[in-house]
């Protein structure tokens, strides 16, 4: 029997957001507010950078101290902007990764410098062909530097790198990285969208992941992993689903992830387009509320 949830980490794309939507559904937004009122710490855990995350939650009546785990765990800040954690990838490692992974797809580096230029790539046209929606959403933050290594001089350490392309190419890129001298110098986390033949390899400081950041956050809050819930839909969510004591995979996740969920004993939520996050949170809130009532008798 699981204890009531005190901390929940929720992915954004494919989990909290409906497909192709740029805003939370009213039911999901209400569930986040209700969870906070019930005393549950709601943390967002996403591959997006902070500047691309925070605007989604502005104006929804959420607490300013809500943690945002962004860039797949490299940065943690509150919704109000207070810093909690920030970890960087060594510039020399990033330069080495450029030479290794450039042949496989579009490369991007993210810097923890909010505003214009915190996303750096070397071929905007190539990126637009592969990840057009991302380019349009982030255009004001993109800086073009060619060669890309030029943005990684004089101690300019990024917080996150990314190489993206078709599924097969990214499998080859991941294999090349594992066989290279840089394998132990960075963390490689994969996200896949099979219907679009799109895969993303996030390149992070060693050991960094959503699960690692969630563990650190739980420790700060004094929350046991058994009291921690994680909700996600993709491969970059696996490590936080494995760490949390209560793990929920979305109903829209890929078949191979659903098979993994069965092996791990994770529960399944309704799909993102059916407000699956809200359904899970409403149940968690009800359990927490009933437990409080019983303890007060």
Reported pTM: 0.93
Q: Any idea what the Cα angle at residue 125 is, between residues 119 and 131, rounded to 5°?
A: 65
CATH for the stretch 7-86+208-295: 3.40.50.1000
CATH class of the region 91-204: alpha beta
Q: pLDDT per position in the chain (297 positions), as tens?
A: 789 999 999 999 999 999 989 999 999 999 999 999 999 999 999 999 999 999 999 999 999 999 999 999 999 999 999 999 999 999 999 999 999 999 999 999 999 986 668 999 998 888 877 788 888 888 889 999 999 999 998 779 999 999 999 999 999 999 999 999 999 999 999 999 998 899 999 999 999 999 999 999 999 999 999 999 999 999 999 999 999 999 999 999 999 999 999 999 999 999 999 999 999 999 999 999 887 655 555
Count other Cβ atoms within 10 Å, centred on residue 256: 11
- Residue spans of the domains in the chain: they are 7-86+208-295, 91-204
């Amino acid at each position: 029997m699981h204890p009531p949830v005190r901390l929940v980490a929720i992915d954004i794309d494919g989990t909290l957001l409906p497909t192709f939507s740029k805003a939370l559904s009213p039911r999901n937004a209400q569930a986040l507010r209700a969870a906070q009122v019930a005393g549950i710490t709601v943390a967002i855990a996403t591959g997006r950078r902070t500047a691309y995350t925070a605007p989604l939650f502005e104006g929804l009546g959420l607490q300013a101290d809500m943690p945002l785990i962004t860039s797949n765990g490299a940065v943690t800040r509150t919704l109000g902007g207070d810093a909690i954690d920030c970890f960087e990838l060594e510039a020399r490692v990033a330069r080495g990764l450029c030479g290794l992974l450039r042949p496989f797809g579009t490369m991007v580096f993210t810097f923890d410098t909010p505003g214009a230029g915190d996303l750096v790539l070397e071929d905007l046209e190539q990126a637009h062909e592969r990840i057009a929606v991302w380019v349009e959403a982030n255009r004001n933050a993109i800086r073009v530097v060619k060669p890309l290594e030029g943005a990684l001089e004089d101690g300019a350490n990024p917080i996150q790198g990314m190489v993206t392309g078709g599924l097969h190419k990214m499998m080859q890129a991941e294999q090349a990285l594992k066989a290279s001298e840089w394998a132990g110098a960075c963390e490689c986390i994969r996200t896949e969208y099979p219907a679009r033949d799109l895969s993303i390899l996030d390149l992070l400081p060693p050991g960094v992941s959503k699960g690692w950041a969630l563990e650190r956050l739980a420790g700060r809050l004094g929350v046991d992993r058994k009291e921690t819930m994680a909700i996600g839909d993709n491969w970059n969510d696996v490590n936080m689903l494995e760490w949390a004591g209560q793990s929920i995979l979305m109903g829209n996740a890929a078949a191979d992830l659903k098979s993994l969920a069965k092996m791990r004993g994770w529960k399944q939520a309704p799909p993102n387009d059916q407000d699956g996050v809200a359904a899970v949170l409403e149940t968690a809130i009800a359990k927490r509320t009933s437990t409080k009532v019983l303890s007060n008798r």
